[in-house]
Amino acid sequence: MTRAVALNVAANTNQPGFRGPLRADGSFVYVPIPETEPTSEAVPTYADLDLPIDVPDDVRETPVHLDPAFAEYPCCERYTYGDPHGLKASPLLDLDAGDRVYFYATLDAPDDPGPWMAADWGTYVIGEFVLARDPVTGDEFEALPERERDVFAGNAHRKRDPFDAAVMLAGTDDSRLYDRAVPLSGARGVDANRAVTEWSADSGKGPWWRRPLRYGDAGHARLREWVQRESYPPVR
């Protein structure tokens, strides 16, 4: 069995000031954060993504930091992810080709939330990568042959000036942005469910929804079952 790490990504109440929505049927909208650093080329704006939500007028023309990139998402071609922060890079660098990285986001509840959804906002897995190669450090990336660097050509950190990633990931074609969100929260967004407290190495205490979650072989096997469920038990 493979190991895994789950990472917090996507829009939140700090950047750009709102969360992506969760819908009653479990579908959701992945909204990336704004780009906050200089770039060497133009990057998409929220307007370019043509998201199926009402993006505030004062944000529509803001460039986005489109990371992770999912091949099926607007303005993306491949599955790539980069991160400049050691807190996230460190657990990722322990993974190998074939291991999985899960991406989770905080999402606002619909007006009529389902029985397995947090009542106000909650944390949900929204997609995954199957790693196509071992994670690449920033220094290793700079030394890669151009042919191998081209795999990451569309990544947001490749477009930053200067390049700033401490780790770069490439996913296989088995990677995907989910059609339906997978809950990590309990009845309240701040409460972690067993996918965090029992299966990961995290305690689920404090702001767990901001931390990388590590899964060993056994915990990852349970997480895979959870991700593949057709329905989830009520949390109220």
176's enclosing H/E stretch is strand 176-183
Mean pLDDT of the chain: 96
Backbone torsions φ then ψ of 39, nearest 5 degrees: -125, 155
- Domain residue limits, the chain: 4-227
pLDDT over 90 (residue 236): no
| Residues 6+ positions from 45 with CB-CB distance below 8 Å | 60, 61, 62, 63, 64
pLDDT over 60 (residue 13): yes
Query: pTM, whole model, 2 decimals?
Result: 0.97
pLDDT over 90 (residue 214): yes
Please report which confidence band the pLDDT of residue 2 belongs to, taking 50, 70 and 90 as the band edges. low
Could you give the C-alpha distances from 227 to 92, 103, 210, 232, in angstroms and in order?
20, 12, 20, 10
- Reported as a single tens digit per residue, the pLDDT across 66-119 is 999 999 999 999 999 999 999 899 999 999 999 999 999 999 999 999 999 999
Burial of 169 (0-12, 13-18, 19+ CB in 10 A): buried
